[in-house]
Amino acid sequence: MSLPIFLIGARGCGKTTVGEPLAQALGYAFRDTDHYLQHSTGQTVADIVAAEGWEGFRQRETDALFAVTAPETVIATGGGMVLAETNRRFMAERGHVIWLQASAHILAARLAHYPHSAQRPTLTGRPITEEMAEILDERASLYQQTAHHIIDAMQAPEQVVAQILDALSLARAS
């Protein structure tokens, strides 16, 4: 059996957008920890944060990671999944970890173009470009430390998928 593939990176980097076609290309299942969490609780991320705070949400996020992890599965993780050492170690030891890296400017533009305010509450209350720059500064070393491969996510999803397949030495013949 093949190991799971964990997609990490800041919100807006394309984990779900890339994860679905990547899973299809590999014949893997696709799971998204945020979607799993929302489905299993019947609440949005914003609702959970409002009711339980970020600490409560982060614990639920860890539980979701453990619940969806299985062989032959591509897993899109929440942007803050790497904040917990337990999660970083779990992913690094149990699968292939891919950091979808993008600049704060690109992330902010994507989030502004496809807003999901009910699902993605602001962390700082500041303008999105400033928030994304701060988040990347805060988390870049954690993404770097956890990732087995770093992929440039500032290109078309098809190109990102192809780079991941190449990085994993799983590229299929045309």
pLDDT in tens, 122-134: 555 667 777 778 8
Q: How high is the pLDDT of residue 119?
A: 43
**pLDDT at 111 (0 to 100):** 73
- pLDDT < 50 stretches in the chain: 117-119, 171-174
CA dihedral 101, 159, 92, 49 (to 10 degrees): 60
Give the Cα separation of 172 and 174 in Å (integer).
6
Question: pTM above the 0.85 mark?
Answer: yes
CATH number of 5-167: 3.40.50.300
pLDDT computed for residue 66 by the predictor: 98
* Tokens describing residue 162: 């192809």
- What pLDDT is stored for residue 118 in this prediction? 43
Domain ranges of the chain: 5-167
